[in-house]
Amino acid sequence: MWSEYSLEVVDAVARNGSFSAAAQELHRVPSAVSYTVRQLEEWLAVPLFVRRHPEVELTPARDWFRKQARSVMKII
């Protein structure tokens, strides 16, 4: 399921281009960031990132998710 935190994680990974850099920014361990993204991807049933160690690339689904999530967050 998505949450404000999962949106922050997705944005951090997208901006930084890696789970490790996002984890450092969020003061988390990389495995926690990876787990959050994986759980969200399973909930959405679509990948948000293409993993190419050590970097990640965005998928079109990631942009769709970000737009939808931001719309919902404005309502809340």
The whole domain housing 28 covers 4-75
Closest CA to 48 of 22, 76, 74, 73: 22
- Beta-ladder partners of 57: 50
CA distance 33 to 10: 9
CA atoms within 13 A on the CB side of 16: 18
CATH of the domain at 11: 1.10.10.10
Cis peptide before 30 (omega within 30 of 0): no
Please count the structural domains in the chain.
1
Mind listing the pLDDT tens digit for each residue in 6-58? 888 988 898 899 999 999 999 999 999 999 999 998 998 888 888 887 788 87
pTM to 2 decimal places: 0.79
